[in-house]
Chain A
Amino acid sequence: MHLGVEEPVRECQYNQICTHNSSPMDTPHTKKKKIKRKWQVFPGRNKFYCNGRIMMAKQTGVFYLTMVLILVTSGLFFAFDCPFLASNLTPAIPAIGGVLFVFVMGMLLRASFSDPGVLPRATPEEAADIERQIDITNGPSGPGYRPPPRTREVVINGQTVKLKYCFTCKIFRPPRASHCSLCDNCVERFDHHCPWVGNCVGRRNYRFFYLFILSLSLLTIFIFAFVITHVILRSNRTGFLSALKDSPISICLDGCTVLEVVVCFFSIWSIVGLSGFHTYLISSNQTTNEDIKGSWSSKRGKGNYNPYSYGNFITNCCAALCGPLPPSLIDRRGFVQPDTPQPAAQTNGTGACPSNQVQSHMCAQDQCIQSTKFVLQAATNPLLHSQPIILGGGAPLQAKTSLGGPCSTLGPSQPSLPSSIPGLSCGGELMALRDSEIHCHHHLHHQHFISPEETPSPPAALPCATHLGHHVHPAQLFDPASQDSLHEDSVRGLVKLSSV
């Protein structure tokens, strides 16, 4: 009783003190809304540096490995082999080597740091307009009826091409575009996601990627050839065995030589092979994605041909390498307009609502509602990997969380694969780039010829395969990796709630 009497008094005092302290704090520090640049609110999973000038994928560990390999091997070559070769053969050798090296680094950095051709996500009004049009074409649906997957067919140069709807970006993807599950963006003329370059390879940086691998193959062959030449010349002069018994410097030289030879030998097979493969792709105007899927192969049907090819190999090459370079569509360094609602992952889900100033406040309220839904869904339905099709206004969120699940399991597992064969693992990266839709079945198919090293993939691919068949019944599979994405979404939801 004694305490009971005192405490309320103390509490009151504490409260009074609190309010006295807090109110003077608030008024001078009026919340000044900082104008952000668009890269800071970018919805994809990219990393930006230098205030939005540089754009890379989320996981860049392998890119640093690439840099280290190239720098170390080239550095050893210039430091240990070039002096000998320059004095005994010709100084043109280090000069050419230098030019090649600079070109390789330039192309690598350009391929890694530039925007691959990311398509910005639809604004809420656009998304609502598309949903309305889809509803019109599909007709009214009763309860429990699941509308077919959203596709549009278009005839290009006599070939029927299916345009798929991207549930994350809320757009119908242009032909040849694909959604990268690692970067969570739709990329134009998507080729593949390359961990060695630390970025997606798409329309805007394909030529840099190709020139990088081409020049790197030349550089590796160059270094390999001249290191061997160096060893041969040196051993001719001093005798092979006696060279080994010399001073520590020569032992060190031999060690470096061995390292260079080993790196170059393994790189040559993979990189030269990859360059050859991409030369074939360029000459037939296909992307790695299309080639792997066999989209234009004659095995699919008699009349199946590539509608994008210009007919002859020279025009195809020129178009790919010397064609006009389109500018970036995402305007990373532009400023965010204060009253435009961010497309991100939310939809208003209210159909064709008229937009005005009030709309932006409504959007904030909608954000609140959607965020709460996110959190509730994540909390109550951890096991539901439901079909990607929408049941109504609220369901797009469910689609997002569930789709993040099965296919993103492939994503995170891929970059951590320690593959000694960069070429194959680069192609193997394709496994990770699946669009979060019904094409999951390709995983199992491609398992067989990509590489046996993709061991983390099979368990993850299985839910996808079952996922494919079960349009009506949600595939009730417990997948720990998808739990993570649900957790992520619930965290995002909570963050949004706190910010509204």
Chain B
Amino acid sequence: MALKILQDLRQAAVTSKVFVQRDYTSGTICKFQTKFPAELESRMDKQQFEETIQTLNNLYAEAEKLGGRSYLEGCLACLTAYTIFLCMETHYEKVLKKIAKYIQEQNEKIYAPLGLLLTDPIERGLRVVEITIFEDRSIGSR
């Protein structure tokens, strides 16, 4: 329902985009800056935004975690000459699907009613979290 509102808005709305960049202070792991962008100040709650980004960061950390499970997967894959990935998904891919679902949920529940849209970072090469701001022009044109 909320997405339909957004699609309608997209027909007649002017959009601008805000980019949340990567945070490299912990190394090369995928992590986004939780700093609240100035352009969103009038639009949404800072707490909510930080919570979304933090959850995303946690999910990416889970995908890239080095632990018993990932080592086991790696060794098994090596022994089968990586043919095992023809039948099963890597752990990373599974988490990426989880992230996609989470973003869709967040868009539907929180961001679309505010006239915002989160783009999955994987579509931007895990460089940025792109937030599209829709400004409703349709009021003026009627």
Q: Which residues does chain B contribute within 8 Å of A175, judged by CB atoms?
A: 24, 27-28
Near A by CB (< 8 A), chain B positions 99-142 give 122, 124-128, 130
A176 touches B17 (CB 8 A): no
Q: Which residues does chain A contribute within 8 Å of B19, judged by CB atoms?
A: 125-126, 129
B71 touches A329 (CB 8 A): no
Complex CA gap A175/B25 in Å reads 10
Q: Which residues does chain A contribute within 8 Å of B71, judged by CB atoms?
A: 318, 322-323
Q: Which of A251-259, A273-281, A350-358 lies at the interface?
A: A350-358
B28 touches A308 (CB 8 A): yes
How many residues from B make CB contacts under 8 Å with A?
A: 38
B15 touches A356 (CB 8 A): yes
Complex CA gap A106/B75 in Å reads 16
Q: Which of A58-66, A149-157, A364-372, A457-465 lies at the interface?
A: A149-157
Q: Is B5 an interface residue (CB 8 A)?
A: no
Near B by CB (< 8 A), chain A positions 57-83 give none
A321 touches B81 (CB 8 A): no
Contact partner, B17, options A125, A154, A330, Cβ 8 Å:
A125
Q: Which residues does chain A contribute within 8 Å of B16, judged by CB atoms?
A: 352, 354-355
Chain A 308-331 interface mask (CB, 8 Å, partner B; 1/0): 100000010011011111110110
Given contacts A329-B126, A356-B13, contact A211 B78 (CB under 8 A): yes
B96 touches A154 (CB 8 A): no
Q: Is B47 an interface residue (CB 8 A)?
A: no
Complex CA gap A295/B128 in Å reads 27
Given contacts A156-B24, A175-B24, A323-B70, contact A129 B96 (CB under 8 A): no
Complex CA gap A364/B91 in Å reads 41
Given contacts A154-B24, A154-B25, A325-B90, contact A354 B127 (CB under 8 A): no
Q: Which residues does chain A contribute within 8 Å of B42, judged by CB atoms?
A: none
Residue of A nearest to B26 (CB): A156
Residue of B nearest to A308 (CB): B27
Instruction: State the majority secondary structure of interface residues on B.
Output: mixed
Q: Is A171 an interface residue (CB 8 A)?
A: yes
B82 touches A110 (CB 8 A): yes
Complex CA gap A189/B78 in Å reads 21
Complex CA gap A236/B81 in Å reads 40
Chain B 47-69 interface mask (CB, 8 Å, partner A; 1/0): 00000000000000001111000
Given contacts A308-B28, A327-B96, contact A119 B90 (CB under 8 A): no
Q: Is A447 an interface residue (CB 8 A)?
A: no
Q: Is B14 an interface residue (CB 8 A)?
A: yes
Chain A 171-198 interface mask (CB, 8 Å, partner B; 1/0): 1101110000000000011000000000
* Smallest beta-carbon distance B91→chain A, Å: 6
A156 touches B66 (CB 8 A): no
Contact partner, B75, options A102, A315, A322, Cβ 8 Å:
A322
B15 touches A324 (CB 8 A): no
Q: Which residues does chain A contribute within 8 Å of B14, judged by CB atoms?
A: 354, 356
Q: Which residues does chain A contribute within 8 Å of B66, judged by CB atoms?
A: 315, 318-319, 323-324
Given contacts A126-B127, A176-B28, contact A321 B92 (CB under 8 A): no
A321 touches B74 (CB 8 A): yes
Best-surrounded residue of B19, B82, B124, B127 (most CB of chain A within 10 A): B127
Complex CA gap A188/B21 in Å reads 16
Residue of A nearest to B65 (CB): A324
Q: Which residues does chain B contribute within 8 Å of A106, judged by CB atoms?
A: 81-82
* Smallest beta-carbon distance B90→chain A, Å: 6
14 other A-B residue contacts (CB within 8 Å) besides A208-B82, A318-B71, A324-B74: A106-B81, A110-B82, A122-B127, A126-B128, A171-B127, A172-B21, A188-B28, A307-B27, A318-B66, A324-B65, A324-B66, A327-B93, A354-B14, A355-B17
A-B pairs with lowest CB-CB distance, top 8? A322-B74, A120-B125, A329-B125, A322-B71, A106-B81, A154-B24, A324-B70, A354-B16
In the assembled complex, 7 residue pairs joining A and B whose CB atoms fall closer than 8 Å, in A order, are A125-B19, A126-B127, A129-B17, A175-B28, A189-B28, A308-B27, A324-B90
